[in-house]
Amino acid sequence: MEQYKFQALLKLGKAGQNGTAAVTAGRTQRALVRATPQPGAGSVFFPALVTSYGDGAEWLPAGEMLVTIVVRGEHPRDYLEVGESFSLWRGQDVASGVVTRHLYV
C-alpha cells in the first residue's frame, strides 16, 4: 500500500441526499476518490482524506474549492498524476476534480 498526497481543484456537486455538502471548508473528511484510467475502462477507488483550509471564495468561481487529498492504495500515482481528472464518491459522485500538484508526504 502506498500513500499519495496531492492538491486538487474540485468542482462541487449538489449537496448529498441528507443535505450535507461534498466538502466543508475548514474540515478534514473521508471520501473515496474514483479514478478512471482510460475511457471505457473500469473505475479504481481509493480511500481518501480530503482537507479544505478555506473555500477560496475570494478568487475561485462559485462551486469550486482547492483541497488537499491523501489517498492510500496500490499505485495511486499511476491514476492520479498532475492533470488527471477524478471524482469524489460517497455512494454517488459528489464532486469532480483535477489534480493540480503532487505534495510530498
Specify the amino acid at residue 58: E
Confidence of residue 13 (pLDDT cuts 50, 70, 90): confident
Provide, for the chain, the percentages of residues in helix, strand and coil under a 3-state DSSP scheme, each rounded to the nearest 5: 5, 50, 45
Give percent of the chain with pLDDT exceeding 70: 80
What's residue 52's pLDDT? 85
User: CA separation (Å) from 53 to 12, 26, 31, 60, 86?
Assistant: 15, 5, 17, 14, 20
Q: Residue 82 and residue 18: Cα distance in Å, rounded? A: 32
pTM attached to this predicted model: 0.84
> In the chain, what are the domains?
2-103 (2.40.30.10)
